[in-house]
Amino acid sequence: MNRNTRVLVDYLYIILGSAATAFAIVVFFNPAKLAPGGVSGISTILFHTLGWDLSTTSFAITIPIYLIGVKLFGKQYGVRSLLGSVLLSFFMWVWTEFLGTEGILDYSKEMSLWISALYGGVISGVGIGIVMKSGSNTGGTDIVAQIIARYTHIPLGTSMIIVDAAIIAASAIFFGIESALVALIVVYIVGIAINKVVLSMGTNYAKTVYIISSQMDEIGRYIIDELGRGATVVDAKGFFTKESRPMLMTVIPNQNISSLTRVVQSLDPRAFMIIQETFHVLGEGYTPIEKIANNSDVTAQ
């Protein structure tokens, strides 16, 4: 697949994934008063408490957050991330125009809440997973999490949990504890669906990246501080020149590959990168080694 075709496919992923995620929000989450984190969760709370339009609120919150991300972290928040954010709000408006805000289920029946959690979680997870396949995201609170990680030194993964937990806690105040507990289950379902989509579409959730560059320190700081991942310096030696040069090795999730590549290119256009598929990662931040070591039935996928 040539570069132009790859770019076209990536943008198609963003469009399809954003449409699916927006459908889950409009048809299942919002009518059921489920706010499983993210900007859409905030928008859902504001829709039911203040009557604010769902898509407009999402757009109004996302764009300033995106601009703050660009200001603090630089141009790695490129067109694709902005496109994912804008398209999510756009498709929320489209689905609302066609289907309204009442959803398709009768919420006087208790089972409707659980049906919304299950189907909304799966559809949303599939949509987000497809967007991630393009190296993009749907923006919003993941940038807030990166800001927290940068200025408090709390790991990025923990920061994302804190942000979503705060939104879910707020939903408990306005929608009740039962809604918040179901929202936690939705978060789990979405995570499973994302992993399944990424795996089924040809790659696992992470890639191993090797980088040779004259700007090794700056690249390493970006990986650690902004992506919240570790890095290892490996001694390397050119076969022809016989010169010794350090090589940076890191394992990062698929959705961070595009941003890392852009940062490396901006810091050192002459850098050399090798990106490999990684089908199983054991250790801190990924699958615990104990989970595999203590279960002989578990095999690397």
Asked, for residue 49, whether it belongs to a domain, the answer is: yes
Give domain status of residue 16, yes or no: yes
Q: How far apart are CA 196 and CA 210, in angstroms?
A: 26
Number of domains in the chain: 2
User: Would the pTM count as exceeding 0.85?
Assistant: no
Question: Residue holding tokens 């937990």?
Answer: 165
Average pLDDT over residues 262-268: 86
Does 139 fall in a domain?
A: yes
- 154-178 residue pLDDT tens: 765 577 778 889 999 999 999 999 9
Domain closes at, from 147, 173, 200: 200
CATH number, domain of 281, equals: 3.30.70.120
User: Is 141 part of any domain?
Assistant: yes
Angle at CA of residue 256, ends 254 and 258, nearest 5°: 95
pLDDT at 245: 83
Q: How confident is the model at residue 296 (pLDDT cuts 50, 70, 90)?
A: very low
Same-domain pairing of 105 and 26: yes
Is residue 299 pLDDT above 50, yes or no? no
In whole angstroms, give the CA distance from residue 292 to residue 247. Answer: 29
Minimum mean pLDDT range among 30-34, 87-91, 172-176, 196-200: 196-200
- Is 279 found in the same domain as 134? no
- Quick check: 205 and 254 in contact, CB under 8 A? yes
